[in-house]
Amino acid sequence: MSHKKLWIPGPTEVREEALQQQTKWMVGHRSGEYTELYESVIGKLVKYFQTEQNVCTQTASGTIWMDITGRCMVKKKALAAACGAFSKRMYQTVADCGKDTTLLDVEWGKAVKTDAVMEELAKEDYDTLIVVHNETSTGIRNPIAEMGKAVKAEYPDMIFVVDAVSSAGGDYLVPEELNSDILFTSTQKCFALPPGLSMACYSDEAVARAEEVPGKGFYTNLLPIHNNWLKRHQNPTTPAISLLYALDHQLSRMLEETPRGRYERHLAMAECTREWANNHFEMFPEKGYESVTVSTIRNTLGKDVAGLNKALAERGHQIANGYGALKEKTFRIGHMGDWTLEDVKSLLANIDEIWGL
Protein backbone atom coordinates (compact mmCIF):
# COMPACT_ATOMS: atom_id res chain seq x y z
CA MET A 1 0.00 0.00 0.00
CA SER A 2 1.43 3.38 -0.94
CA HIS A 3 1.93 5.97 1.76
CA LYS A 4 -0.16 9.10 1.36
CA LYS A 5 0.51 12.02 3.66
CA LEU A 6 -2.71 12.52 5.55
CA TRP A 7 -4.17 16.02 5.52
CA ILE A 8 -7.55 14.66 6.54
CA PRO A 9 -8.96 15.58 9.97
CA GLY A 10 -8.12 12.18 11.40
CA PRO A 11 -6.58 9.74 11.36
CA THR A 12 -3.55 11.96 10.99
CA GLU A 13 -0.01 11.27 9.91
CA VAL A 14 1.95 9.16 12.43
CA ARG A 15 5.72 9.47 12.54
CA GLU A 16 7.59 6.24 11.89
CA GLU A 17 9.27 6.42 15.27
CA ALA A 18 5.86 6.54 16.98
CA LEU A 19 4.61 3.63 14.84
CA GLN A 20 7.66 1.59 15.86
CA GLN A 21 6.82 1.94 19.55
CA GLN A 22 3.94 -0.42 18.93
CA THR A 23 6.26 -3.31 18.11
CA LYS A 24 7.46 -3.63 21.72
CA TRP A 25 6.81 -6.93 23.53
CA MET A 26 3.58 -7.34 25.44
CA VAL A 27 3.45 -7.22 29.23
CA GLY A 28 0.62 -8.45 31.45
CA HIS A 29 -1.87 -5.67 32.14
CA ARG A 30 -1.82 -6.56 35.85
CA SER A 31 1.97 -6.51 36.04
CA GLY A 32 4.28 -3.97 37.62
CA GLU A 33 5.70 -3.20 34.17
CA TYR A 34 2.28 -2.18 32.97
CA THR A 35 1.62 -0.07 36.07
CA GLU A 36 4.88 1.75 35.35
CA LEU A 37 3.84 2.41 31.75
CA TYR A 38 0.37 3.65 32.72
CA GLU A 39 1.74 5.87 35.50
CA SER A 40 4.16 7.37 33.02
CA VAL A 41 1.36 8.06 30.48
CA ILE A 42 -0.98 9.57 33.09
CA GLY A 43 1.83 11.67 34.60
CA LYS A 44 2.62 13.11 31.17
CA LEU A 45 -1.05 13.73 30.32
CA VAL A 46 -1.51 15.59 33.63
CA LYS A 47 1.49 17.76 32.72
CA TYR A 48 0.34 18.30 29.17
CA PHE A 49 -3.17 19.38 30.23
CA GLN A 50 -1.71 21.35 33.18
CA THR A 51 -4.54 20.02 35.27
CA GLU A 52 -5.28 18.93 38.80
CA GLN A 53 -8.30 17.00 37.57
CA ASN A 54 -8.35 13.21 37.18
CA VAL A 55 -6.91 11.94 33.91
CA CYS A 56 -7.41 8.56 32.26
CA THR A 57 -7.23 6.66 29.01
CA GLN A 58 -9.93 4.27 27.87
CA THR A 59 -9.39 1.69 25.14
CA ALA A 60 -11.94 2.82 22.57
CA SER A 61 -12.09 5.72 20.16
CA GLY A 62 -13.39 9.06 21.48
CA THR A 63 -17.05 8.27 20.89
CA ILE A 64 -17.04 6.06 24.01
CA TRP A 65 -17.16 9.30 26.02
CA MET A 66 -20.47 10.21 24.41
CA ASP A 67 -21.85 6.95 25.84
CA ILE A 68 -20.12 7.55 29.18
CA THR A 69 -21.77 10.99 29.27
CA GLY A 70 -25.20 9.56 28.49
CA ARG A 71 -24.88 6.74 31.01
CA CYS A 72 -22.98 8.37 33.89
CA MET A 73 -23.49 12.15 33.80
CA VAL A 74 -27.10 12.90 32.94
CA LYS A 75 -29.32 12.66 35.97
CA LYS A 76 -32.57 14.24 34.81
CA LYS A 77 -32.03 16.43 31.81
CA ALA A 78 -29.26 17.40 29.40
CA LEU A 79 -28.80 20.23 26.96
CA ALA A 80 -26.75 19.23 23.92
CA ALA A 81 -25.64 21.94 21.52
CA ALA A 82 -25.09 20.75 17.95
CA CYS A 83 -23.47 22.70 15.12
CA GLY A 84 -22.43 19.82 12.86
CA ALA A 85 -22.25 16.05 12.47
CA PHE A 86 -20.22 15.08 15.55
CA SER A 87 -22.07 17.28 18.02
CA LYS A 88 -25.33 15.91 16.57
CA ARG A 89 -24.01 12.38 17.23
CA MET A 90 -23.36 13.36 20.82
CA TYR A 91 -26.93 14.61 21.22
CA GLN A 92 -28.29 11.42 19.63
CA THR A 93 -26.11 9.16 21.78
CA VAL A 94 -27.19 10.76 25.04
CA ALA A 95 -30.84 10.68 23.95
CA ASP A 96 -30.44 6.99 22.96
CA CYS A 97 -29.16 6.26 26.47
CA GLY A 98 -32.73 7.04 27.46
CA LYS A 99 -31.95 10.47 28.88
CA ASP A 100 -34.22 13.48 28.47
CA THR A 101 -32.10 15.59 26.13
CA THR A 102 -32.85 18.92 24.50
CA LEU A 103 -31.10 19.72 21.24
CA LEU A 104 -29.87 23.27 20.75
CA ASP A 105 -29.59 23.09 16.99
CA VAL A 106 -27.20 25.61 15.45
CA GLU A 107 -26.90 26.14 11.70
CA TRP A 108 -23.86 24.37 10.17
CA GLY A 109 -21.04 26.88 9.76
CA LYS A 110 -22.13 28.91 12.78
CA ALA A 111 -20.78 28.64 16.32
CA VAL A 112 -22.67 27.78 19.48
CA LYS A 113 -22.93 31.10 21.31
CA THR A 114 -22.83 31.48 25.07
CA ASP A 115 -25.97 33.67 25.08
CA ALA A 116 -27.98 31.00 23.27
CA VAL A 117 -26.82 28.35 25.75
CA MET A 118 -27.64 30.55 28.76
CA GLU A 119 -31.04 31.39 27.34
CA GLU A 120 -31.90 27.69 26.94
CA LEU A 121 -30.48 26.70 30.34
CA ALA A 122 -32.78 29.25 31.99
CA LYS A 123 -35.85 27.51 30.56
CA GLU A 124 -35.57 24.11 32.29
CA ASP A 125 -33.88 22.27 35.11
CA TYR A 126 -30.80 20.97 33.27
CA ASP A 127 -28.03 19.08 35.07
CA THR A 128 -25.65 18.42 32.12
CA LEU A 129 -24.42 20.62 29.28
CA ILE A 130 -22.75 19.00 26.27
CA VAL A 131 -20.77 20.99 23.71
CA VAL A 132 -18.20 20.17 21.04
CA HIS A 133 -15.10 22.36 21.09
CA ASN A 134 -13.97 21.81 17.52
CA GLU A 135 -16.71 20.65 15.12
CA THR A 136 -14.70 18.70 12.56
CA SER A 137 -17.45 18.62 9.93
CA THR A 138 -17.72 22.41 9.65
CA GLY A 139 -14.38 23.64 11.00
CA ILE A 140 -16.04 25.62 13.78
CA ARG A 141 -14.27 26.33 17.06
CA ASN A 142 -16.81 27.03 19.80
CA PRO A 143 -16.12 29.59 22.57
CA ILE A 144 -16.11 27.02 25.37
CA ALA A 145 -13.95 28.97 27.86
CA GLU A 146 -16.36 31.89 27.89
CA MET A 147 -19.30 29.45 27.95
CA GLY A 148 -17.92 27.38 30.83
CA LYS A 149 -17.30 30.50 32.90
CA ALA A 150 -20.82 31.86 32.37
CA VAL A 151 -22.49 28.50 32.95
CA LYS A 152 -20.63 27.66 36.17
CA ALA A 153 -21.21 31.18 37.57
CA GLU A 154 -24.95 30.65 37.32
CA TYR A 155 -25.22 26.86 37.64
CA PRO A 156 -22.32 25.57 39.77
CA ASP A 157 -23.74 22.02 39.86
CA MET A 158 -24.01 21.72 36.08
CA ILE A 159 -21.79 19.01 34.60
CA PHE A 160 -20.06 20.52 31.56
CA VAL A 161 -18.91 17.94 28.99
CA VAL A 162 -16.61 19.02 26.16
CA ASP A 163 -15.82 16.96 23.07
CA ALA A 164 -12.26 17.98 22.22
CA VAL A 165 -11.60 15.01 19.92
CA SER A 166 -10.22 17.07 17.04
CA SER A 167 -8.60 19.89 19.02
CA ALA A 168 -6.89 18.62 22.19
CA GLY A 169 -3.17 18.21 21.66
CA GLY A 170 -3.16 20.94 19.01
CA ASP A 171 -5.35 23.76 20.28
CA TYR A 172 -4.62 25.10 23.78
CA LEU A 173 -6.98 23.50 26.31
CA VAL A 174 -6.67 23.50 30.11
CA PRO A 175 -9.72 21.95 31.84
CA GLU A 176 -9.63 24.38 34.78
CA GLU A 177 -9.67 27.35 32.38
CA LEU A 178 -12.68 25.88 30.59
CA ASN A 179 -14.56 24.83 33.74
CA SER A 180 -15.08 21.47 32.05
CA ASP A 181 -16.05 18.36 34.03
CA ILE A 182 -15.23 15.95 31.23
CA LEU A 183 -12.91 16.88 28.38
CA PHE A 184 -12.30 13.99 26.02
CA THR A 185 -10.19 13.32 22.97
CA SER A 186 -8.80 10.51 20.77
CA THR A 187 -5.28 9.49 19.81
CA GLN A 188 -5.77 9.71 16.03
CA LYS A 189 -6.15 13.48 15.70
CA CYS A 190 -3.79 16.12 17.12
CA PHE A 191 -1.84 13.55 19.14
CA ALA A 192 -0.73 12.11 15.78
CA LEU A 193 -1.06 8.46 16.77
CA PRO A 194 -3.03 5.50 15.41
CA PRO A 195 -6.72 5.26 16.41
CA GLY A 196 -8.01 3.06 19.22
CA LEU A 197 -7.46 4.96 22.42
CA SER A 198 -9.28 7.86 24.05
CA MET A 199 -8.09 10.18 26.79
CA ALA A 200 -10.10 12.28 29.19
CA CYS A 201 -9.71 14.80 32.00
CA TYR A 202 -12.58 14.55 34.48
CA SER A 203 -13.45 16.42 37.66
CA ASP A 204 -14.30 15.07 41.12
CA GLU A 205 -17.79 16.44 40.47
CA ALA A 206 -18.05 14.12 37.46
CA VAL A 207 -17.14 11.17 39.71
CA ALA A 208 -19.73 12.28 42.30
CA ARG A 209 -22.35 12.57 39.57
CA ALA A 210 -21.55 9.06 38.30
CA GLU A 211 -22.14 7.74 41.81
CA GLU A 212 -25.69 9.13 41.71
CA VAL A 213 -26.74 7.91 38.26
CA PRO A 214 -28.02 4.32 37.78
CA GLY A 215 -27.65 2.09 34.71
CA LYS A 216 -24.04 2.85 33.80
CA GLY A 217 -23.16 -0.53 32.25
CA PHE A 218 -19.56 -1.67 32.69
CA TYR A 219 -17.41 -0.44 29.80
CA THR A 220 -19.21 2.91 29.91
CA ASN A 221 -18.99 3.29 33.69
CA LEU A 222 -16.62 6.03 34.82
CA LEU A 223 -16.35 4.57 38.34
CA PRO A 224 -14.31 1.39 37.57
CA ILE A 225 -12.01 3.54 35.41
CA HIS A 226 -11.54 5.96 38.31
CA ASN A 227 -11.30 3.32 41.06
CA ASN A 228 -8.80 1.15 39.16
CA TRP A 229 -6.54 4.18 38.92
CA LEU A 230 -6.94 4.92 42.63
CA LYS A 231 -6.41 1.31 43.75
CA ARG A 232 -3.70 0.02 41.42
CA HIS A 233 -2.85 2.56 38.73
CA GLN A 234 -4.32 0.25 36.08
CA ASN A 235 -7.49 -0.12 33.99
CA PRO A 236 -10.70 -2.08 34.55
CA THR A 237 -10.27 -4.12 31.32
CA THR A 238 -7.34 -5.13 29.11
CA PRO A 239 -5.96 -1.91 27.61
CA ALA A 240 -4.42 -1.31 24.17
CA ILE A 241 -0.90 -1.70 25.51
CA SER A 242 0.80 -1.15 22.13
CA LEU A 243 -0.94 2.19 21.72
CA LEU A 244 0.01 3.18 25.25
CA TYR A 245 3.69 2.63 24.38
CA ALA A 246 3.22 4.95 21.42
CA LEU A 247 1.31 7.50 23.52
CA ASP A 248 4.01 7.49 26.19
CA HIS A 249 6.63 8.18 23.52
CA GLN A 250 4.57 10.85 21.76
CA LEU A 251 3.73 12.67 25.00
CA SER A 252 7.44 13.14 25.72
CA ARG A 253 7.79 14.89 22.37
CA MET A 254 4.65 16.94 22.98
CA LEU A 255 5.91 18.09 26.37
CA GLU A 256 9.21 19.06 24.80
CA GLU A 257 7.37 21.19 22.27
CA THR A 258 5.09 22.47 25.10
CA PRO A 259 1.30 22.89 24.88
CA ARG A 260 1.75 26.59 23.92
CA GLY A 261 4.30 25.68 21.27
CA ARG A 262 1.94 23.15 19.75
CA TYR A 263 -0.90 25.67 19.79
CA GLU A 264 1.22 28.31 18.09
CA ARG A 265 2.35 25.88 15.39
CA HIS A 266 -1.25 24.83 14.75
CA LEU A 267 -2.36 28.48 14.66
CA ALA A 268 0.37 29.35 12.14
CA MET A 269 -0.72 26.44 9.90
CA ALA A 270 -4.38 27.50 10.22
CA GLU A 271 -3.65 31.16 9.44
CA CYS A 272 -1.62 30.21 6.37
CA THR A 273 -4.43 27.93 5.13
CA ARG A 274 -7.08 30.59 5.81
CA GLU A 275 -5.12 33.24 3.92
CA TRP A 276 -4.76 30.90 0.95
CA ALA A 277 -8.47 29.99 1.16
CA ASN A 278 -9.58 33.62 1.32
CA ASN A 279 -7.41 34.46 -1.71
CA HIS A 280 -9.07 31.82 -3.88
CA PHE A 281 -12.27 30.68 -2.13
CA GLU A 282 -14.04 31.52 1.15
CA MET A 283 -13.84 30.02 4.60
CA PHE A 284 -16.98 28.06 5.52
CA PRO A 285 -17.07 28.84 9.27
CA GLU A 286 -18.39 32.07 10.64
CA LYS A 287 -15.59 34.64 10.96
CA GLY A 288 -13.87 34.65 14.32
CA TYR A 289 -14.79 31.02 15.07
CA GLU A 290 -12.46 29.20 12.68
CA SER A 291 -10.77 26.04 13.93
CA VAL A 292 -6.99 26.02 14.32
CA THR A 293 -6.76 22.30 13.51
CA VAL A 294 -9.01 21.86 10.46
CA SER A 295 -9.96 24.39 7.80
CA THR A 296 -13.29 23.90 6.02
CA ILE A 297 -13.26 25.86 2.77
CA ARG A 298 -16.29 26.78 0.69
CA ASN A 299 -15.72 25.60 -2.89
CA THR A 300 -16.82 28.90 -4.47
CA LEU A 301 -15.03 28.10 -7.76
CA GLY A 302 -16.93 24.83 -8.18
CA LYS A 303 -13.70 22.84 -8.46
CA ASP A 304 -13.68 19.02 -8.63
CA VAL A 305 -12.58 18.03 -5.12
CA ALA A 306 -12.66 14.25 -5.72
CA GLY A 307 -10.52 14.85 -8.85
CA LEU A 308 -8.10 16.96 -6.83
CA ASN A 309 -7.66 14.14 -4.35
CA LYS A 310 -6.87 11.70 -7.18
CA ALA A 311 -4.20 14.07 -8.50
CA LEU A 312 -2.88 14.71 -5.00
CA ALA A 313 -2.65 10.95 -4.39
CA GLU A 314 -0.20 10.71 -7.28
CA ARG A 315 1.92 13.26 -5.45
CA GLY A 316 1.56 11.39 -2.14
CA HIS A 317 -1.01 13.58 -0.38
CA GLN A 318 -4.65 13.29 0.68
CA ILE A 319 -7.05 16.01 1.83
CA ALA A 320 -10.72 15.60 2.86
CA ASN A 321 -13.85 16.31 0.87
CA GLY A 322 -16.71 18.14 2.62
CA TYR A 323 -18.63 16.16 5.23
CA GLY A 324 -21.95 14.56 4.23
CA ALA A 325 -24.15 17.05 2.39
CA LEU A 326 -21.20 19.46 2.23
CA LYS A 327 -19.30 17.10 -0.13
CA GLU A 328 -17.90 19.03 -3.15
CA LYS A 329 -19.55 22.19 -1.76
CA THR A 330 -16.70 22.40 0.73
CA PHE A 331 -13.38 20.68 1.24
CA ARG A 332 -11.29 20.28 4.35
CA ILE A 333 -7.62 20.48 5.12
CA GLY A 334 -6.67 18.89 8.42
CA HIS A 335 -3.52 20.65 9.60
CA MET A 336 -3.28 18.75 12.85
CA GLY A 337 -0.72 16.65 14.62
CA ASP A 338 2.95 16.95 13.78
CA TRP A 339 2.78 18.83 10.46
CA THR A 340 4.77 22.07 10.13
CA LEU A 341 4.06 25.38 8.42
CA GLU A 342 6.51 24.39 5.67
CA ASP A 343 4.55 21.16 5.08
CA VAL A 344 1.31 23.17 4.75
CA LYS A 345 2.90 25.55 2.25
CA SER A 346 4.10 22.63 0.20
CA LEU A 347 0.63 21.02 0.18
CA LEU A 348 -1.00 24.31 -0.87
CA ALA A 349 1.58 24.75 -3.66
CA ASN A 350 0.61 21.29 -4.94
CA ILE A 351 -3.08 22.27 -4.94
CA ASP A 352 -2.22 25.53 -6.75
CA GLU A 353 -0.44 23.56 -9.47
CA ILE A 354 -3.18 20.94 -9.88
CA TRP A 355 -6.04 23.44 -9.96
CA GLY A 356 -4.08 26.15 -11.77
CA LEU A 357 -4.81 28.75 -9.07
Ligand X SMILES: Cc1ncc(COP(=O)(O)O)c(C=O)c1O
Do residues 176 and 206 touch, judged by C-beta distance below 8 A?
Answer: no
Residue from 38, 48, 49, 86 binding ligand X (CB under 6 A) = 86
Q: Determine, following the binding rule CB under 6 A, whether residue 270 of this chain makes contact with ligand X.
A: no
- Residue 162 or 354: which CB sits closer to ligand X? 162
The residue range among 95-103, 132-140, 215-223, 236-244 that interacts with ligand X, by the rule CB under 6 A, is: 132-140
Residue from 54, 57, 136, 250 binding ligand X (CB under 6 A) = 136
Q: Determine, following the binding rule CB under 6 A, whether residue 163 of this chain makes contact with ligand X.
A: yes
- Indicate the burial class of 223 (C-beta count within 10 angstroms; 0-12, 13-18, 19 or more): middle
Q: Determine, following the binding rule CB under 6 A, whether residue 165 of this chain makes contact with ligand X.
A: yes
- Residue 242 or 346: which CB sits closer to ligand X? 242
- b vs e for 180-189, b when ≥16 Cβ sit within 10 Å of the residue's Cβ? bbbbbbbbbb
CA–CA distance, 70 with 99 (Å, rounded to integer): 7
CA–CA distance, 162 with 164 (Å, rounded to integer): 6
Please enumerate in sequence order all residues whose Cβ is within 8 A of that of 47, keeping only pairs 6 or more positions apart, or say none: 255
Give strand pairing partners of 317.
5
CB of 84 to ligand X, least distance (A): 8
CB of 141 to ligand X, least distance (A): 11
- Residue 34 or 108: which CB sits closer to ligand X? 108
Angle of helix 305-314 relative to helix 341-355, nearest 10 degrees, comes to 120
The residue range among 50-58, 158-166, 222-230, 313-321 that interacts with ligand X, by the rule CB under 6 A, is: 158-166
CB of 355 to ligand X, least distance (A): 26
Do residues 166 and 146 touch, judged by C-beta distance below 8 A?
Answer: no
CB of 219 to ligand X, least distance (A): 14
Q: Determine, following the binding rule CB under 6 A, whether residue 92 of this chain makes contact with ligand X.
A: no
- Ramachandran angles phi, psi of 199, nearest 5°: -135, 145
Judged by CB under 6 A, the number of residues near ligand X is 12
Which three-class secondary structure state does DSSP give residue 112? Answer: coil
Residue from 166, 180, 235, 273 binding ligand X (CB under 6 A) = 166
Q: Determine, following the binding rule CB under 6 A, whether residue 180 of this chain makes contact with ligand X.
A: no
The residue range among 131-139, 206-214, 313-321, 344-352 that interacts with ligand X, by the rule CB under 6 A, is: 131-139
- Residue 67 or 181: which CB sits closer to ligand X? 67
- Residue 166 or 354: which CB sits closer to ligand X? 166
- Residue 198 or 309: which CB sits closer to ligand X? 198
Pattern 9-28, ligand X, x by CB under 6 A = -x------------------
- Ramachandran angles phi, psi of 17, nearest 5°: -60, -40
Residues 182-241 close enough to bind ligand X by CB under 6 A: 186
CA–CA distance, 122 with 10 (Å, rounded to integer): 36
Residues 62-81 close enough to bind ligand X by CB under 6 A: 62-63
- Indicate the burial class of 140 (C-beta count within 10 angstroms; 0-12, 13-18, 19 or more): buried
**Number of neighbours of residue 231 by Cβ within 10 angstroms:** 9
Kindly report the CA angle at 58 between 57 and 63, in degrees rounded to 5? 115
Q: Which residues bind ligand X (CB under 6 A)?
A: 10, 61-63, 86, 132, 134, 136, 163, 165-166, 186
